[in-house]
Amino acid sequence: MKSFLFGLGLGVGLGVLFAPMSGQETRDNIAERASDLASSARETIEQGREKVQRGVSSLRNVASSTAQENRPTGTEI
C-alpha cells in the first residue's frame, strides 16, 4: 500500500509538472510561432527576389556587352 501511494503521489507530481499549457498560453505560443514563421518566410522571399534581380541585371549587362561586340561596323563585306 505504501508503494502504491508513493507511486500515485509521484504520478500526480509529474503530471502537474508536465501538464500542457493553458488554452490562452497555447494560443499565444502558436501565434508567436506563426508570426516568426511568417517573418522568416518574408525574409527568405526578399533574399530570393534580390538574388533574382541581381541575376537579371547581370544577364542584361552580358547581353548588352555581347551585342556591342558583335555589332557590325559597316566595313565588313
Residue 20 main-chain phi, psi, to 5 deg: -65, 160
pLDDT of the residue at 20:
75
Eight-state DSSP code of residue 18: T
pLDDT tens digits, residue range 11-57? Answer: 877 776 676 777 788 788 888 888 988 888 899 999 999 999 999 99
pLDDT of the residue at 74:
62
Q: Is the pTM of this model over 0.95?
A: no
